[in-house]
Structure 1
Amino acid sequence: MSDLARGGKQKDNAVLEVRRRLATWDSIIVLLTVFVLVVASFSVTNFGTSRNFTFMILDLLPIVLVALPMTFIIVTGEIDLSVASTLGLASSIMGYLWNQGLSIESIIPICVVVGAVLGAINGFLVTGLGLPSLAVTIGTLALYRGLAFVVLGDGAVADFPFTYTGWVTGTIGDGPVPNVLVLILVLAAIFGVILHATPFGRSLFAIGANAQAAHFSGIRVARTKFWLYVVSGAVAGLVGVLWTLRYSSARADNGAGLELAVVAAVLLGGVSIFGGKGSLPGVLAGVVLLAALQNALRLQDVSGQALNIVTGALLVLSVLLPNIATSIRTTWQRRKLRRAATV
């Protein structure tokens, strides 16, 4: 083969590889996110301002942090719908302990540990007793939220020190970049490396693809899933603290409904609800897309009920569209093989 022919073949392969990557769901979501951000910046008043950028980062903070361990759990074929209630219970405990005179420095690790214990309960019920995660976490969703009201009641605690509330809501220097963005980037990088660049991350995809085969290959499936629930609970407990400090209010109903936004963002980012597929960059793009849409609608004075409709619609589409795309791709490949066989 001549150098010219070889160079042409390599060019064609490169073009095909670029097309293949652009055709993935992750790439589509990233492009759609950029499109929404650009359109909203020009069409929605105040959307493109630095002040609104700060608020949007603060709005997506709880979604993105909870979505990180949720991605791991869904990749293994399970789910955790109790995260928002864990957040609310952590917030209630924070308010109660603050009223009892404990320092914030003591309260924060307690809330994280409480979240980890709640996650361990979920993990034991799912992996130890073999119960379905959907049923278990729907049950603990109600249980943990009820406990939050038992701890704090219908009231609120709002006199937290400005040193902490100011840091959560503040920015780096005099710029528009929120302090919490550093936390988001660090945790996202850690979770991303674990999922995509370690044997443990590869084992999660193996579990999601075929848990029985993963078990016979030496992967400790039950133990892995258990610790994923522990991490999910711990992160939800931390987010409960950040939520409380951001709004300077500890309430039992903090974070209500957050689980739907988190699951919608994860599935929208390309993680299969059946497990075994997905990527963290796609999830991050899904979070930004969801946050941008919600932020733009709020600036347009759209009601909270309409925001719930948008979130629900995205949740349905995030499950429906990848399945339709897979069916179309499979059908196209079969037709291509049939044509090749008849030649």
Structure 2
Amino acid sequence: MTAPGRPEQAGRTYAAHARPWWQRALLTREAGIIALLVVVVALSLQYVDNFRSPLTLPYLVLDTAPILLIALPMTLVIITGEIDLSVASVVGLSSVTVGLLVEAGWSVPAAAGTALLVGVACGALNGFLVAFVGLPSLAVTIGTLALYRGVAVGLLGTKAVTDFPERWTDLATARLGDTQLPVVLVPIVVLAAVFVVLLHVTPFGRGVYDIGLSPDTARFSGVGVARTKLLLFVLTGAVAAFAGVFFTLRYGSARGDNATGMELQVVAAVLLGGVSIFGGRGALHGVLAGVLLIGVVSSALRLESVTVNVINIIIGALLVLSVISPSVTAWIVRRRRPTTLRPVGKEER
């Protein structure tokens, strides 16, 4: 029996569930990015000779590892409707922290642990200003981007620390057993599994989506909006610091300008992976595919001797397309969708 004043087809307001399950699984932006990744890999294997080299896969993983790591918490931050542009400067600051402490005689694990604490502190400052003070995350993280980068350059100056124990720099590029897969893939897989469960399985993850859709509604539903945002910024700072430790050991160099511009690659990968810049939508499997897509495109173009400037133009174009495509698609759907309203005739009045 239909409740008074409620339309007979009220259930059809959930348009996504009006389609078969296979359409809901396959006709999505995430599935489209995965399909595009497969096509790009196939074309690279077909037309880029050096892409078939056994060294391509390990170097692809090593090159994309910091972006893969930072994109995991960044996905949750953007789903809440916020953004963190300070991540690359946190990478640089953690790199300088490791370099200075190792130079002072500390062990690499102790220096890395301290760098992680520095990353947590940076994320906590961002989170406090955004979640509790109420400042816009874009303005806050642009400011802290300059702040953290300035501190890093100020501590180390223009010099670089390169005297790291060889066993630790070798570990950063080591392979898993007899495979070509780098060891860094292990923490990537572990962290990816943790964030997938956190976002897609737990009540905390549902709260993240609720905040992105409507912070006020989420608050009235019992979601701790400020606490959730603070935790996400702390996680982003910690993971960025971990990426900074890996970055330092992989290249054997601690510099204040390490990872400059990486925040744009991270944001581009997250948005390309289907996460809405307006919040409330996204999935981690699409983000992982987006990171790998950018990595494969960059690697294939470098192997074809394409300049960095051209690669950046292509990645920028992908970012612009990923931002505007949801709006264009929604506009097309609205134009094609038949209206359910009809004029009321005199006999029905």
State the 1:321 CA deviation.
Answer: 1.1
1:118 aligns with 2:122: yes
Partner of 1:21: 25
Which deviates more, 197-206 or 166-175? Answer: 166-175
Aligned-residue Cα RMSD (Å) equals 1.7
1:229 aligns with 2:228: no
Structure with greater proportional helix content: 1
Give the AA of the match of 2:90: T
Residues 153-207 of structure 1 show CA distances to partners (whole Å, capped at 9, x for unaligned) of 1111112112111111111123211111111111101100110000000000000
Partner of 1:93: 97
1:202 aligns with 2:188: no
User: Are the equivalent residues in 1 in contact too, given 2:78–2:279 (CA < 8 A)?
Assistant: yes
Alignment of 1:132-143 (within 5 A): 132-143=136-147
Partner of 1:53: 57
Residues 124-150 of structure 1 show CA distances to partners (whole Å, capped at 9, x for unaligned) of 111121100001101111111111101
Q: What are structure 2's unaligned runs of at least 5 residues?
A: 1-16, 345-349
Partner of 2:44: 40
Partner of 1:162: 166
Which deviates more, 311-320 or 220-229? Answer: 311-320
1:183 aligns with 2:184: no
| In structure 2, C-alpha distance between the alignment counterparts of 1:326 and 1:283, rounded to whole Å | 21
Give the AA of the match of 2:325: L
Partner of 1:258: 262
Alignment of 1:234-253 (within 5 A): 234-253=238-257
1:80 aligns with 2:76: no
Partner of 1:9: none
Residues 197-229 of structure 1 show CA distances to partners (whole Å, capped at 9, x for unaligned) of 000000000000000010011111011101110
Partner of 1:299: 303
State the 1:338 CA deviation.
Answer: 6.2
Give the AA of the match of 1:69: P
State the 1:331 CA deviation.
Answer: 2.7
State the 1:92 CA deviation.
Answer: 0.9
State the 1:249 CA deviation.
Answer: 0.5
Partner of 2:155: 151
Which deviates more, 166-175 or 254-263? Answer: 166-175
Q: Relative to structure 1, is the Cα distance of residues 41 and 217 closer, same or farther in structure 2, using a 3 angstrom cutoff?
A: same
Partner of 1:3: none
| In structure 1, C-alpha distance between the alignment counterparts of 2:45 and 2:184, rounded to whole Å | 23
| In structure 2, C-alpha distance between the alignment counterparts of 1:254 and 1:116, rounded to whole Å | 19
Q: Relative to structure 1, is the Cα distance of residues 327 and 21 closer, same or farther in structure 2, using a 3 angstrom cutoff?
A: farther
Aligned residues between the structures? 327
| In structure 2, C-alpha distance between the alignment counterparts of 1:140 and 1:307, rounded to whole Å | 28
State the 1:336 CA deviation.
Answer: 6.1
Q: Relative to structure 1, is the Cα distance of residues 14 and 51 closer, same or farther in structure 2, using a 3 angstrom cutoff?
A: farther
Give the AA of the match of 1:315: L
Q: Relative to structure 1, is the Cα distance of residues 216 and 242 closer, same or farther in structure 2, using a 3 angstrom cutoff?
A: same
| In structure 2, C-alpha distance between the alignment counterparts of 1:134 and 1:15, rounded to whole Å | 37
SS in 2 for 1:80: coil
Q: What are structure 1's unaligned runs of at least 5 residues?
A: 1-12
Alignment of 1:258-297 (within 5 A): 258-297=262-301
Give the AA of the match of 1:178: P
Percent identity reads 51
